[in-house]
Structure 1
Amino acid sequence: MIALGARLKGSQVVKTLGFKPNFCDYTHGEMDLIRRADTIYWPTAFYAGLFSAMNKKIFPSVNNYDFALDKIKQTAMFKLLDLPHPRTKLFYGKTQKQRITDLFKFPFIAKIPRGSSRGKGVFLIKGQNDLITYLKIPGPAYIQEYIPTQRDMRILIIGREIVLAFWRTAADNEFRTNLSQGGKISFSNLPSQALELALQTARCCNWNDVGIDIMEHQGKPMVIEANMKYGTQGFKAAGIDYQKLLERLILTGKI
């Protein structure tokens, strides 16, 4: 069993070859391993589509890579699947961006739609000055309704099952719940509806290594976004050895 990405580097179960964009830089032995492998784990964004095109089994799925760090595609998918999701709209170009305040009242959320993570590209737009500053960022404006809450849920799915779920509570004077922004973890009971929605979202989108963020609004769960490059702080807090968990799932044929 082999991997390209570093997720299982050092594992005694899966041999990690590392990522080399020039395929010819792999040794002949490594090339042979890649060609003969039943499954290639963490093939990287570069190779996932190539292996999928040649009908090579990979984990995680090619969809995982296609939607990673892309809020635009994720939102489009949520709407196509009619999944509950905060009201969101994209604005392209200067003319469209001038209409933002016609459709959204302050305060609202603005995000860097591609490439951002860990809460760094999420802004609470309280007034016109905040909006002017945000619109200086190149690219489309990703605008979302602001639903005040101090906590949400991170539900982690590997393969076809939930392996960990927890609440994230925002730090004082912070609207973001990200752990990297000071959010705190709680393992108190999560509503079953939220767990079911996370599983439904992952399965419908064919995401099999993902953290689904869920919030509650008016007593019902709502999908915020999907994180394919999730952190492992939650596993540490729960006393779970993340690498051994992955190895167990591989050895039992669950991934």
Structure 2
Amino acid sequence: MTSASLDNPLVALEGRLRHCRNVRTLGVRPNFLDYTPEERRWIREAAKIYYPSPFYAELLDTMGKPTFPSYHTYKFAQDKIKQTALFQMAGIPHPRTRVFYGRRQKARIVDHFSFPFIAKVPRGSALGKGVYLIRSAEDLAAYCQMEGPAYIQAYLPMEKDIRAVVIGGRVVHAYWRVAPVGDHRTNIGCGGDVDFSPVPRGALALAVRTARVCRWDDVGLDIACRRDDFVVLEANMKYGREGFRRAGIDYNRLLEQCIVDGSI
């Protein structure tokens, strides 16, 4: 069990735990000396810092201070290129994906993929934004006008996929996301619906294995069914909470309990 006292409280920096009663959230201040002397002591003496932000996660990892989420979780947030490379290296089932840099490489996309296929904004996108179904040469030309590398993925025809949220090494919530009519995206923020039919055990096992192998301890994994098996589409460290709300799960109380039972 994680414990704290008034003199040495449990400390978070980012606001994810601001509504949790057993954690004191200090905020992310770009200059460490902007924290009060007492707050700086709390940070230095805390056994673990919760939601430290990407900036402080790297500094705390250098100092050997444990954080939640892990530094590894922060390193892969909103970076599909790194995620894909890690999935491929670790043998995590993942749709066939390639990254193309520069005009010469982009001109060869159709040598590797047949229409239709998926193109994504590889960095900084979330909530279903920056995902395109490329049906023609015209669609591809428009996508390639965007700056940066082209992130191309095989198209898996599907009407729904699975969102599995893994916190502290276990699936705390999983559900189906159903695409709206005429859209290939299942994201709730893009009009997708939620289906609480049972999620196959194989998908849950893949979610746990992926989080463990990748050393991600707070992540929403998007998983698709492919014939008789499952593939991880991508990882979301800034996952939405609408699926929790619709299921009647109090996300803040869930995190409080995870802290109490020592799973995070």
Q: Is the 8 A contact 2:19 2:252 kept in 1?
A: no
The amino acid across from 2:135 in the alignment is: K
Does 2:155 correspond to 1:160?
no
**Structure 2 residues without counterparts, runs of 5 or longer:** 1-9
Match of 1:38 in 2: 47
Could you tell me how far apart the structure 2 residues matched to 1:11 and 1:124 are? Answer: 40
Q: Deviations over 1:16-51 (max 9, x none)?
A: 000001111111111011001111100001100110
Match of 1:107 in 2: 116
Does 2:23 correspond to 1:14?
yes
Could you tell me how far apart the structure 1 residues matched to 2:212 and 2:14 are? Answer: 23
> Aligned-pair distance for 1:11?
2.7
Moved beyond 6 Å, runs of 4+ = none
Could you tell me how far apart the structure 1 residues matched to 2:186 and 2:163 are? Answer: 10
Q: What are the within-5 Å matches in structure 2 for residues 152-231 of structure 1?
A: 152-231=161-240
Does 2:11 correspond to 1:2?
yes
Does 2:253 correspond to 1:237?
no
Match of 1:59 in 2: 68
How many residue pairs end up in the alignment? 255
> Aligned-pair distance for 1:187?
1.1
* Structure showing greater relative contact order (alpha-carbon pairs closer than 8 Å, 6 or more residues apart): 2
Could you tell me how far apart the structure 2 residues matched to 1:252 and 1:208 are? Answer: 15
**SS of equivalent to 1:83:** coil
Could you tell me how far apart the structure 2 residues matched to 1:216 and 1:137 are? Answer: 30
Could you tell me how far apart the structure 2 residues matched to 1:230 and 1:147 are? Answer: 22
Could you tell me how far apart the structure 2 residues matched to 1:128 and 1:194 are? Answer: 35
Q: Of residues 98, 114, 124 in structure 2, which corresponds to 1:89?
A: 98
> Aligned-pair distance for 1:160?
1.0
Could you tell me how far apart the structure 2 residues matched to 1:10 and 1:67 are? Answer: 26
Could you tell me how far apart the structure 2 residues matched to 1:131 and 1:4 are? Answer: 42
Match of 2:4 in 1: none
Match of 2:7 in 1: none
> Aligned-pair distance for 1:8?
1.0
Q: Deviations over 1:71-108 (max 9, x none)?
A: 00000000001111100000001001100011111110
Could you tell me how far apart the structure 1 residues matched to 2:254 and 2:198 are? Answer: 22
**Structure 1 residues without counterparts, runs of 5 or longer:** none
Q: Percent identity?
A: 53
Could you tell me how far apart the structure 1 residues matched to 2:128 and 2:31 are? Answer: 33
Q: Of residues 47, 53, 56 in structure 1, which corresponds to 2:56?
A: 47
Does 2:171 correspond to 1:131?
no
The amino acid across from 2:21 in the alignment is: Q
> Aligned-pair distance for 1:130?
0.6
**SS of equivalent to 2:81:** helix
Q: What TM-score do the two structures reach when normalised by structure 2?
A: 0.95
Does 2:159 correspond to 1:150?
yes
**SS of equivalent to 1:235:** helix
> Aligned-pair distance for 1:158?
0.5
Could you tell me how far apart the structure 1 residues matched to 2:248 and 2:223 are? Answer: 23
Q: Of residues 26, 29, 49 in structure 1, which corresponds to 2:38?
A: 29
> Aligned-pair distance for 1:10?
3.5
Could you tell me how far apart the structure 2 residues matched to 1:44 and 1:104 are? Answer: 37
